[in-house]
């Protein structure tokens, strides 16, 4: 997009507000419904990992942080369990809300901070607290919510599985987020949490064979039975 186009969009956004702008964007820019090349950054290998986890574990719910325009959310909505997703940017939240206007009984969208969102779900008696899959992708800058997200999830959900997008994969060339000292999404970031009950899995597919953006990820759990079921998936490899 040219600088002029970005400026024009910014002017329209300020003029009509994020909700009206998002509806216009959805209707007039249909290519933006496939953000980042499709679900999971357009990565076929990553999609396979998620399918393997969701079909093997049959979670009671899917929770996503970082809805963006809802491309990956739409993938999650293919499965028969409820989807809960949060987005901090009003423009993107309203884009996704319009996208899923006919699926509001199963796809539950929230505008806000991911940490507050997870705390509200933890306090919600109607929200399943066992065997829930979490997809964490709400990291955009140095104010990383990731450590608090992980802590909240493992403190409130039993047999939870967490997948983190944009994460460094050991001994491979997958891209990952690095926001400076202490804020790189890598194994050292997890080490600093000081948890001894956390099992780590990475893609078994090499980055050179992956499609799309080739962004790395890590899958976490803290339950030995769940660990053993994840170990049986050929799309994952455990790193101790």
Domain definitions of the chain by residue range: 35-239
Closest to 207 (Cα-Cα) out of 67, 5, 43, 61: 43
pLDDT at 184: 94
Closest to 174 (Cα-Cα) out of 141, 139, 210: 210
**Cβ contact 48:119 at 8 Å:** no
Q: Which residues contact 21 (CB under 8 A, 6 or more apart)?
A: 9, 12, 13, 91, 94
**Cβ contact 122:151 at 8 Å:** no
Give residue-wise pLDDT tens across range 100-153: 999 999 999 999 999 999 999 999 999 999 999 999 998 877 678 999 999 999
pLDDT at 9: 77
**Cβ atoms < 10 Å from Cβ of 151:** 14
Longest Cα–Cα distance of the chain, Å, equals 54
CATH 3.40.50.150 describes domain 35-239: yes
Q: For the sheet with 161-165, list strands across it.
A: 107-111, 83-87, 61-65, 132-136, 161-165, 217-221, 199-203, 236-239
User: Can you tell me the distance from the alpha carbon of 101 to that of 61, in angstroms, rounded to the nearest whole number?
Assistant: 19
CA 240 centroid distance within chain: 23
Counting Cα atoms < 13 Å in the Cβ hemisphere of 96 gives: 29
Q: What share of the chain is helix, strand, coil (3-state, %, to 5)?
A: 45, 20, 40
User: Can you tell me the distance from the alpha carbon of 60 to that of 26, in angstroms, rounded to the nearest whole number?
Assistant: 30
pLDDT at 142: 66
pLDDT at 84: 98
Helix (H) or strand (E) holding 11: helix 3-16
> Which residues in the chain land under pLDDT 70?
1, 142
């Amino acid at each position: 997009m040219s600088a002029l186009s970005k400026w024009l969009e910014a002017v329209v956004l300020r003029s009509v507000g994020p909700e009206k702008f998002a509806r216009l964007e959805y209707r007039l820019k249909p290519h933006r419904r496939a953000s980042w090349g499709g679900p999971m950054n357009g990565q076929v290998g990553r999609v396979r990992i998620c399918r393997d986890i969701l079909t093997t574990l049959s979670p009671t719910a899917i929770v996503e942080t970082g809805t963006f325009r809802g491309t990956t959310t739409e993938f999650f909505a293919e499965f028969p369990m409820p989807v809960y997703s949060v987005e901090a940017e009003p423009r993107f939240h309203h884009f996704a809300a319009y996208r899923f206007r006919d699926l509001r009984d199963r796809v539950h969208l929230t505008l806000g901070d991911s940490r507050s969102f997870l705390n509200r779900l933890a306090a919600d008696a109607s929200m399943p607290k066992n065997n829930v899959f979490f997809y964490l992708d709400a990291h955009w800058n140095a104010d990383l919510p990731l450590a608090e997200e992980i802590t909240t999830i493992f403190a409130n959900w039993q047999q939870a599985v967490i997948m983190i997008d944009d994460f460094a994969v050991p001994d491979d060339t997958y891209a990952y987020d690095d926001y400076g000292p202490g804020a790189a999404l890598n194994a050292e970031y997890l080490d600093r949490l000081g948890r001894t009950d956390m099992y780590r899995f990475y893609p078994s597919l090499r980055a050179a064979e992956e499609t799309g953006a080739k962004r790395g990820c890590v899958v976490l759990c803290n339950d030995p039975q769940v660990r053993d079921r994840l170990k049986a998936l050929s799309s994952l490899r455990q790193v101790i």
